[in-house]
Structure 1
């Protein structure tokens, strides 16, 4: 029998996502206008901006939950017209099914795809191990901490081998220490998946640590997209180039 240490979801090429001249929001209530944004396959793009600027609207549009009011939204070479299994959406609230164990929650997208029971179990155990929850697999969500629930939610998303993972302030409700641990874990687990990640946050330092690039929203528009200096290490947080970019972003946000 194959063990969870031998199994992983198949590697896939990350999705290329784009908005072209897009107005976003609901009919009669646009939030962002004339947005041109390219998200490269396999990168982490972080999105920051003040409350109400349209960060979540942007993410839900890329998820296919909201249609653009004008312009177009594209995945790879074709129009993005609705939700799809190869784009996973992760919210601040963990959205785990409370009556299913953590393992059963992680198995869910595989069950929906018709994956057999033994393979589902092996895949779920692999991802639970990757996120440090192998000893909590049989627990119900209310029996574990908020950070552990978010780990399980990430495992569930990645078990389905998505080409894009769209994250809406997933660590916003966590304490500072747990949040830093989740950021480190996200980067570690993301490596090797090939997935494109769009990560919305109100925390500039989180955006600078996680992002390969950073998109800044405000005043109903996309203000700028900036490359983030590397390496992605805690020890590099005081790098002069990173500090200069942080100052520019905070100035743009009026902080």
Structure 2
């Protein structure tokens, strides 16, 4: 997958630190995670894995400010996190692009909400579309492009608003294997140098190990383990003993 590496995009603010302290997470009628202690470091990619129904999406929505903790604390940079904020962008598996707006128009949307002038937001939108390899498709409506291209546009839209944290809920889950691999590479490339913190939920252990600086395993209503991932990030290092051991440990913890 090619991108326009010569197109500069505005730098993001330094990544946010997201913290849960002895938190109970869920909805008032049902708690799904208990006693969660988690510190997401500024600028890291933290991947989250676990069986279906273990609370991965609940964790993400709590960090987004869409759910309040039932007990304990949730903080951003040491301050209580009390609701949604432009500081934190949420990216779903469904691309959620507005079908009546072009790709450029979709990427411009967070800039328009922030009050950026028309010419400047067009320039910034085109810059981000260039970075994700969609310069030629900027004027297309979402239904005129592929699923992978829509996800690239969604990534550009999320980053255009200069969030300090990007919260991603299985964003590549509906893509075929080749497109998914390309999107993983693109995510790492585009995030490089931005400073944004990323929390990335996935059911795919290999995806979690490729993308994550650390991997969080949720199980039995709690944070079961947090693993550091060996680096450098390299698809050719699948046979590295440390990586093989970590993959085996995660799969074993999941009962696979």
Partner residue in 2 for 1:170: 171
Equivalent residues in 2 for 1:1-255 (5 A)? 8-255=9-256
Shift, 1:238, TM fit: 1.6
- Any idea what the Cα deviations from partners look like across 1:72-107, whole Å, max 9, x if unmatched? 000002000100001000000000000000000000
- Any idea what the Cα deviations from partners look like across 1:214-248, whole Å, max 9, x if unmatched? 00001111101110001101111221101101001
Shift, 1:12, TM fit: 1.2
CA RMSD of aligned residues (A): 1.1
Give the 4+ runs in structure 1 shifted more than 2 A: 4-11
Other structure's SS at 1:224 match: strand
Q: Is the 8 A contact 2:8 2:131 kept in 1?
A: no
C-alpha distance in structure 1 between counterparts of 2:45 and 2:240, whole Å: 20
| Most deviating of 129-138 and 229-238 | 229-238
Q: Is the 8 A contact 1:8 1:126 kept in 2?
A: yes
C-alpha distance in structure 2 between counterparts of 1:82 and 1:15, whole Å: 15
- Any idea what the Cα deviations from partners look like across 1:186-232, whole Å, max 9, x if unmatched? 00000011100000000000000000000000111110111000110
Q: Is the 8 A contact 2:12 2:163 kept in 1?
A: no
C-alpha distance in structure 1 between counterparts of 2:197 and 2:127, whole Å: 21
C-alpha distance in structure 2 between counterparts of 1:190 and 1:244, whole Å: 27
Q: Is the 8 A contact 1:5 1:126 kept in 2?
A: no
Other structure's SS at 1:37 match: strand
Aligned residues: 252
TM-score by length of 1: 0.97
Q: Is the 8 A contact 2:7 2:131 kept in 1?
A: no
Shift, 1:7, TM fit: 5.1
Other structure's SS at 1:22 match: strand
C-alpha distance in structure 1 between counterparts of 2:121 and 2:149, whole Å: 20
C-alpha distance in structure 2 between counterparts of 1:52 and 1:84, whole Å: 26
Shift, 1:8, TM fit: 2.4
TM-score by length of 2: 0.97
**Structure 1: runs of 5+ lacking an equivalent:** none
Shift, 1:10, TM fit: 3.4
C-alpha distance in structure 2 between counterparts of 1:118 and 1:47, whole Å: 39
